[in-house]
A = this chain, B = another copy of it.
Amino acid sequence: MCVAESIRAREASILAANRTDVEAARRRGMKESLIDRLSLSEKRIEEMLSGLKEIVSLPDPVWRSSEVFSLSNGLTIQKMTVPLGVIAIIYESRPNVTVDAFSLALKSGNCIFLRGSSSAVNSNKALVAAIKEGLAASSVSEAVIELADSESHDEVRTLLSLRQYIDLVIPRGGKDLIDFVVENSRIPTIETGVGNCHVFVDSSADFKKALDIVENAKTQRPGVCNAIESLLVHVDIAQEFLPGLYERIGGRVEFRGCERTVAIIPAKPATEEDWATEYLDYILAVRVVDSFEDALSHIERYGTRHSEAIVTEDYEHAMAFVRRVDAAAVYVNASTRFTDGGQMGFGAEMGISTQKIHARGPVGLSQLVSVKYVGFGNGQVRE
């Protein structure tokens, strides 16, 4: 825990560096919601440290095996987990990611290369200096963490070409950042984060469950990727369900609806763009659909393969939804907000992967490793 101690010991200088970043951001006119993400406080540093301690306390994900078997010739083979090597993370303003990414990488035996945003440069430098100071007092090399010393766009391009030095790149931020990294990387990437998630309220839905789930998935924390952006309601129950929903959350949430929705509750008319937008805000697009199949088609067309939920009491629809909807997580009668490493019991995460290769869903310690087959023999040869 040398690192936690050195972060605490350097708390004043970290907060001072963060104030410099926050003041510069405010001068440049950064939105207050982003200023909030950028800002550190004593309380937030304590939260960082408790996150760090939680990761330290998780089981070591390296050199574990769930597959050990013997061939008929007596050769025993173990499929063991091993570190990936060097992980690079390219992230936007939140400085707590600096500490999270470091702790996840180190716990999984990897080195971490951090490329933060220019708006957080002073905060990140202060945090990395504190981490390195802590490592210097430990048996682990300070070289396991490095911060990019420039925030230029060209440097990101260069970084993305260094396949011989970096094993995995994780972009963490908005859609533009993720698309840029995925389009330009020569290094394997894990796409994280964009979530245009839906709840579909089926004709057989239990209204109490549906109201609870829609309210939770939309309003419990709208700025995160596993919150919902659109609601699909079966035409048979729309007239009955929507007014209750409006009563429940209409005071806090702006509705944008299809024609049939607008005829039932107060809502702005939704445009084509609304169905494809990740608002990350107190806005909900609502579409009345004619059938279960139409709901699936809408999700197939507009969803980002993150988290999708159905509220239904129909067994066949429940089973068909979880099989047929293509997403990292699919739920029956539960909020989409459970797509989260902490909620699922895996601990902290680098993000939520929406790709199919290597890792899908929460990217925690178990996803930051590779494997190695180890054979223990006594002279076996192949026949």
- Which residues of B lie under 8 Å from residue A370 when comparing CB positions? 356-357, 360
Q: How far is the CB of A196 from chain B (nearest CB, A)?
A: 16
A100 contacts chain B at the CB level, 8 A cutoff: no
The answer to whether B167 and A357 have CB atoms under 8 Å apart is yes
Q: How far is the CA of A85 from the CA of B375 in the complex (A)?
A: 33
- Which residues of B lie under 8 Å from residue A372 when comparing CB positions? 322, 326-330, 360-361
Q: How far is the CB of A296 from chain B (nearest CB, A)?
A: 15
Instruction: Given A188-B188, A332-B377, A374-B322, answer yes or no on A382-B337 (Cβ-Cβ < 8 Å).
Output: yes
Which segment, of A17-25, A139-147, A207-215, A252-260, faces chain B?
A: A207-215
Q: How far is the CB of A364 from chain B (nearest CB, A)?
A: 12
Among B183, B338, B373, contact of A380 (Cβ-Cβ < 8 Å)? B338
Interface size class of A (residues with CB under 8 A): 35 or more
- Which residues of B lie under 8 Å from residue A71 when comparing CB positions? 338, 343-345
Q: How far is the CA of A186 from the CA of B213 in the complex (A)?
A: 38
Main secondary structure of the interface of A (DSSP, over half): mixed
A168 contacts chain B at the CB level, 8 A cutoff: yes
The answer to whether A216 and B378 have CB atoms under 8 Å apart is no
Cβ proximity bits A295-335 to B, threshold 8 Å, 1 near / 0 not: 00000000000000000000000100011001111111111
Q: How far is the CA of A379 from the CA of B213 in the complex (A)?
A: 7
Q: How far is the CA of A358 from the CA of B213 in the complex (A)?
A: 34
A66 contacts chain B at the CB level, 8 A cutoff: yes
> What are 16 A-B contacts with C-beta separation under 8 Å?
A71-B345, A84-B357, A85-B356, A168-B356, A213-B381, A326-B372, A330-B373, A331-B377, A333-B378, A334-B376, A334-B380, A334-B381, A343-B382, A356-B370, A357-B357, A357-B358
What is A's interface to B at a CB cutoff of 8 Å? 63, 66, 69, 71, 75, 77, 79, 82, 84-85, 163, 167-168, 182-183, 186, 188, 206, 208-209, 212-213, 215-217, 220, 318, 322-323, 326-335, 337-339, 343-345, 355-358, 360-361, 370-382
